[in-house]
Amino acid sequence: VYRNPENHPVVHVSHKDAAEYCKWVGKRLPGEWEWEAAARAGHYGPSNRTLYAWGDDDEDWELASKHANLWGPGAFPHENDALDGYRATSPVKHYPPNALGFYDMTGNVWEWQRGGKHKARIVRGGSFVDSLNGTVNHAATLGARATIHATTTTANVGFRCAKAPKRRTEYHYVYHDEELHGQLAVEDQFGKRDTIPQMGWEDQHVWDEEEEELDDDALLKLEQTRKKKKVVKKRERYSNEL
């Protein structure tokens, strides 16, 4: 029996129970892309991938035991020497965090993810019964992934909650030629638009370096037809959309 078991991850919890708890605290289960981005902490892309948060050596158990709670070099399931200090789960902050400050993204317990099907819910991260290189159960790399039934409750499956920051809508201004694309849409207080300009009008004007300079009358006419329109700036996806 562990001392201070409240510091260990919650286990023996089904996918639905984990999702309901996250909802109860105002959060949710993480998405799989979101989880892996947090686990890799910048180590992603074709030229910047690593097997583990601490490096790529899948044979150096002594180094791995300082970073993650995994099954050691002993034969499974009887030779658990607890060389990393624990025969089962370990306290959440026992091992150092990764570069983004997340703990236990490798090992300790598998973690439920958002999505999947009832008979094949997704778990990520590996657990204390998985090995460094896959000689015992799964290879607990940053890409470790498995699917299990949603009702599964075991001692090596847990979860973590996630929450994305509130998005702020950003705007910018672009020119709109009313002669070419019609009058700018006017939106009333109820969100109704009287006219809607054609799509794809942005950046259609190409300046010719050999064009003659416009006189004052031509410039005035251009300013009357080219008006600025406030549009929503294209945004990046947030973690809760992954």
* Exposure on the CB side of residue 36, measured as CA atoms within 13 A: 16
Q: Could you tell me how many residues make up the chain?
A: 242
Position 15: which residue type? H
What string of pLDDT tens digits covers the 242 residues of the chain? Answer: 556 677 899 999 999 999 999 999 999 999 998 898 899 887 766 666 788 888 888 888 888 889 999 988 888 888 877 777 788 899 999 999 998 999 999 999 999 999 899 999 999 999 999 988 888 899 999 989 999 999 999 999 999 999 987 777 777 776 655 555 555 555 555 656 555 444 444 444 445 555 556 666 766 665 665 666 677 777 666 555 55
Q: Is the pTM of this model over 0.85?
A: no
Residue 35, SS3?
helix
Question: Strand pairing of 157-158 and 110-117?
Answer: parallel
Exposed / middle / buried, residue 166 (Cβ in 10 Å: 0-12, 13-18, 19+) = exposed
Q: Select from 145, 129, 122, 138 the least CA-distant residue to 58.
A: 138
User: Is the Cβ–Cβ distance between 194 and 186 less than 8 Å?
Assistant: yes
Instruction: Report, in angstroms and rounded to the nearest whole number, the Rg of the chain calculated over CA atoms.
Output: 27
